[in-house]
Amino acid sequence: MEVHQLRYFCAVVESGNFTRAAEATRISQPSLSQQIHKLEDELGAKLFDRLPRSARLTQFGKAFLPKAQAILRQIGEARIEIREMASVESGEVVLGAIPTVAPYLLPHMLSSFARQHPSVSVSVVEEITPTLLERLHQGTIDLALLALPVLGDELIASELMQECLFAVLPEKHPLASRRSIVLDEMRAEPFLLLKEGHCFRDNALLACRQSRINPKVVFESGQFATILAMVSAGMGVSVVPQMAVCDTRGCRFVLIADKRSRRRIGVVRLKYRYPTRAQMALLEHLQHNATTKAS
């Protein structure tokens, strides 16, 4: 069994057919097919059902996949660890970030990191929390910037900051001129929230539950910008984190004074993965530059 055979096997799984897998691994399709056949012969089992335009894992392939992925991950980590021991700080870091943090926190942080660490390349993947955690376990991202807490003994979380929550009200709303309010004062209002899957939706609903209110959700979106436009049009009220507060026509942002209405932001990594110097440099930079907002 050869390492490249495992890579080709995983490539077929990810691509869904042999043609795309060959393109992704930059070899000819006949060569890739031959290597998969050799792997199947050595294992003594058929790994794929070969359909006209796709390749589907057999029960043996499904059982073999996590083992192949683990081997490739361990080889990759061993290679990184040896390179790290023999080299200076350099390389690439893939940072995952949730959409309610990435556009507000990352631009100035990554630009200053690039100036201080020109030999480290950072790429960003913007996804919702469940997808980021899945990709973290798959090894396709190195660090995840998201809202805390997250569950899992295999995860290491480093808190970066805390921030207040703000009510978003139409500018002519009776509460819009206030400096602060409590969520109970919004009990009867129609709420506009992010869709399920966005962790800030969970933050907002948790804050409501802690204030013993059950918000009437009349509109859901995947973007704060859409929600703010709807609030401006008088369609309801919403809740946003402090970093999303901005000058928006037709909207007023009012501090929510409930003591537990806060959001914690942190960076998460896998406990069993060896952190590279580049990854630790980025983590330390984020920790140093994030502002902890006291209550």
Q: Rounded mean pLDDT of 224-238?
A: 96
Q: Rounded mean pLDDT of 131-151?
A: 93
Residue 176 neighbours by CB distance under 10 Å: 17
Short-list 57, 55, 4, CA closest to 26: 4
Rounded distance, CA 4 to CA 237, Å?
A: 55
The predicted model scores a pTM of 0.68
**pLDDT > 50? residue 294:** no
**pLDDT > 70? residue 87:** no
Residue 292: pLDDT band (50, 70, 90) is very low
* Segment 99-137, tens digit of pLDDT: 999 999 999 999 999 999 998 999 999 999 999 999 998
Q: How many helices (H) and strands (E) does the chain have?
A: 9, 12
Residue 131 backbone class (left: φ over 0; alpha: ψ -120 to 50; beta: rest): alpha
Question: Between β-strands 238-241 and 55-57, what pairing exists: parallel, antiparallel or unpaired?
Answer: unpaired
Tokens, residue 144? 């995840």
* Segment 235-283, tens digit of pLDDT: 999 999 999 999 999 999 999 998 888 999 999 999 888 788 889 899 9
pLDDT at 76: 82
* Segment 28-82, tens digit of pLDDT: 999 999 999 999 999 999 999 988 888 999 999 999 999 999 899 888 878 777 7
Q: Rounded mean pLDDT of 222-244?
A: 95
Rounded distance, CA 173 to CA 176, Å?
A: 5
Task: List the domains of the chain with CATH numbers.
Answer: 3-85 (1.10.10.10), 89-160+264-289 (3.40.190.10), 164-263 (3.40.190.10)
pLDDT at 62: 93
pLDDT at 192: 96
Place of tokens 């409501």: 208
Place of tokens 């798959």: 138
The angle formed by the CA atoms of residues 252, 247 and 113, to the nearest 5 degrees, is: 130
